[in-house]
Structure 1
Amino acid sequence: MRQILPLILIAFLVAAPVFAVSGFSVTLGEATSSNPSYKSAVMDYFKAKTDKDLQSADIKIVTASEVNEVSRGVTGRVYSPSQILSCAMVDLSYSDGIKVSVDTSKIRVVTPEMYASALRSSGIDRGYVVVTSPVPASGEAALAGVLKSYEIAVGEQIPEEAKRVSVEEIYLQSRLVNETNATGDRVAELFDEVKNRTQSQNLQDPADIQRVVVDVSQQMNINLTETQVQQVADSVAASQRVQGSLTEFKQRLEGVSQQVGGSGILDQIYAFLQSIYNYIMGIASP
């Protein structure tokens, strides 16, 4: 029996981090969290978008300092606490890829496909995401809250460089929407197609990636300037570079998603304990 106990302890230590996360999280902008009316409106919106009890969600606050940590280096813009209003909900029990729902009555520029494309640059390819704000907003800064929601739901930090790449991408997509008159979803489709071709062809040379951008944009009838082609190519190249640093996060995301997407956590804990009991009884039996 003494020989078995260390194995049981190790099994518990390995399983504990997985069972410690719910796969269901909400982030509130600090200005929304501090305003009872705003907070109530946002939580009511989230309730209408899920059949889960929000009481079971891990709810955290997104601060201006957290947003600025990434956005300052991308746009040079610094947000004050009163400007951090966007909120996000993430549910990893959704098993059919990634689905993003955006409150279009409040989020004016960034579309579901734009968020999904930027999230994929951070290694996120699954989950149900809801984005809203109590007041109108363009939506770019909300990405920081979405990324934090994933970190909470998964129980693993996303590398800072990967987050920066995603934020850069969402701001670039927004600029292209304004500069080319293409829809947000079309711009996101452009990015996704360039990423897919770059990855499938294992392109490393920036000139090769630029040629892919030109080919895809022409096929989609999106007119890009040489500068814009360069910007898209640089963004895609950066996305490809950070994928290697995302291995642990991707594995953790997959594991938690499978956990919460299957049987309930209590059922899983019971099954885990039952398997240990059966193992001990099998060893102890003559």
Structure 2
Amino acid sequence: MKKWLVAASACLLLIGGLFPSSTQADSVIDEKLGVPIVVLGANLTDAEKESVKKSLGVDKEAEVEEITVDGNDLVKYIKDGNSQARMFSSAKITRQDEGKGLVIKIVTPDNITQVTNEMYATAMLTAGIEDAIVEVAAPKAVTGHSALVGIYKAYEVSGETLDTERTDVANDELNLATRFAKDSGIDQDKVAELLTEIKKAIADNKPVTKEEVEKIVNEQLKKFNIELSEADRQLLIELMDRIRALDIDFGKLSSQLSDMTSTIKEKFGDIDPGFWEKVQTFFEDLMNSIKSWFK
């Protein structure tokens, strides 16, 4: 029995050493940036709202501001939006100091079926949202599109003003991204990286004509070895030309997009292989040792 206890203790100690420790500081109210804002889809039932708030960790916050997003908000931020649209995906926004950038986390990944962290992030940069921690949740399987409208509303409630032309373009960008991933069979992360790189090239090269935008789009499609139908390629060119025409500080956007590119590449699968080798070797050695005790 003692040998088993020693083995278990050793196992726990090694795991504690391999994985970074994290301690939760006591939640306090940020008097400068304000409390986190939780925006809930209007079509959630009371039980679903409680489920979503639990997923978003609302109970761990010292205080939150809670608002609801519905079809009227959709019409405000998106041209030709449907005021009768049903809204389920929800979000929590925590403002950060300037320069901290965007941190996106889908906390119910099984229930947000079409939009990825990176798709949200690249669309939010187009809309002008920056320096915030954004968590997205839904109580059941939904596409995830309405969360973006909720994020817009929460951001403005926090004291910022968004350009509705930019939010409309950002929504079209999100729709196109999910369309490419769903209908064209392109990996979701690859779609997000493609859009990010095209926008970064626009920010760096400052094209002045649609033809120059088309050249950038074609170059990036070739770079990522992505083939689109002619109709989809034209949609992508039209979208990026609209982004070019927006009143955006492209110098600042270029820096944000560079950070975004790095974020997209930082996946769990990119962790140093030696880390996982250490874990595997440890457990193999441990099991071999345990087996030897009973010989």
Same structural fold, with TM-score higher than 0.5 when normalized by the shorter chain: yes
Aligned partner of 1:26 in structure 2 is: 38
Superimposed CA distance per residue, residues 9-59 of structure 1 (whole angstroms, 9 cap, x where no aligned partner): xxxxxxxxx968615211011112xx22011101100117xx951x52221
**Distance (Å, rounded) in 1 between the aligned partners of 2:199 and 2:53:** 35
**Distance (Å, rounded) in 1 between the aligned partners of 2:236 and 2:185:** 16
Aligned partner of 2:53 in structure 1 is: 43
Is the Cα–Cα contact under 8 Å of residues 100 and 116 in structure 1 kept in the other structure? yes
Is the Cα–Cα contact under 8 Å of residues 105 and 136 in structure 1 kept in the other structure? yes
Superimposed CA distance per residue, residues 146-166 of structure 1 (whole angstroms, 9 cap, x where no aligned partner): 11121122x022121111111
Superposition RMSD on alpha carbons, in Å? Answer: 2.5
Aligned partner of 2:96 in structure 1 is: 93
Alignment of 1:104-119 (within 5 A): 104-119=109-124
Give structure 1 stretches of 5+ with no counterpart: 1-17, 251-286
**Distance (Å, rounded) in 2 between the aligned partners of 1:233 and 1:61:** 35
Deviates more, 1:189-198 or 1:143-152: 143-152
**TM-score, length-scaled by structure 2:** 0.68
**Distance (Å, rounded) in 2 between the aligned partners of 1:211 and 1:148:** 35
**Distance (Å, rounded) in 2 between the aligned partners of 1:198 and 1:220:** 17
Residue 224 of structure 1 aligns to a residue whose secondary structure is coil
**Distance (Å, rounded) in 2 between the aligned partners of 1:60 and 1:52:** 18
**Distance (Å, rounded) in 2 between the aligned partners of 1:216 and 1:174:** 18
Is the Cα–Cα contact under 8 Å of residues 180 and 222 in structure 1 kept in the other structure? no
**Distance (Å, rounded) in 2 between the aligned partners of 1:205 and 1:222:** 23
**Distance (Å, rounded) in 2 between the aligned partners of 1:22 and 1:198:** 34
Question: Highest Rg: 1 or 2?
Answer: 2
**Distance (Å, rounded) in 1 between the aligned partners of 2:34 and 2:211:** 44
Residue 91 of structure 2 aligns to a residue whose secondary structure is strand
**Distance (Å, rounded) in 2 between the aligned partners of 1:65 and 1:59:** 17
The amino acid that maps onto 1:27 is V
User: Pick from 64, 69, 86: which aligns with 2:71?
Assistant: 64
- Alignment of 1:150 with 2:155, yes or no, is yes
Aligned partner of 1:262 in structure 2 is: none
- Alignment of 1:182 with 2:153, yes or no, is no
Superimposed CA distance per residue, residues 244-278 of structure 1 (whole angstroms, 9 cap, x where no aligned partner): 499xxx9xxxxxxxxxxxxxxxxxxxxxxxxxxxx
Residues 61, 156 of structure 1: alpha-carbon distance in 2 compared, 3 angstrom cutoff: same
Is the Cα–Cα contact under 8 Å of residues 166 and 246 in structure 2 kept in the other structure? yes
**Distance (Å, rounded) in 1 between the aligned partners of 2:197 and 2:56:** 31
The amino acid that maps onto 1:41 is S
Aligned partner of 1:127 in structure 2 is: 132
Aligned partner of 2:235 in structure 1 is: 231
Residues 97, 236 of structure 1: alpha-carbon distance in 2 compared, 3 angstrom cutoff: same
Aligned partner of 1:243 in structure 2 is: 247
Residue 204 of structure 1 aligns to a residue whose secondary structure is coil
Give structure 2 stretches of 5+ with no counterpart: 1-29, 254-295
Q: Return the offset for 1:217.
A: 1.1
Aligned partner of 2:8 in structure 1 is: none
Q: How many percent identity over aligned positions? A: 23
Residue 130 of structure 1 aligns to a residue whose secondary structure is strand
Aligned residues: 220
Residue 73 of structure 1 aligns to a residue whose secondary structure is coil
**Superposed structure 1 runs of 4+ greater than 2 Å apart:** 18-21, 68-72, 77-80, 93-96, 239-246
**Distance (Å, rounded) in 2 between the aligned partners of 1:169 and 1:207:** 20
Higher RCO (CA < 8 A, seq sep 6+): 1
**Distance (Å, rounded) in 1 between the aligned partners of 2:153 and 2:188:** 23
Is the Cα–Cα contact under 8 Å of residues 177 and 187 in structure 1 kept in the other structure? yes
The amino acid that maps onto 1:183 is D
| Structure 1 or 2: more helix by fraction | 1
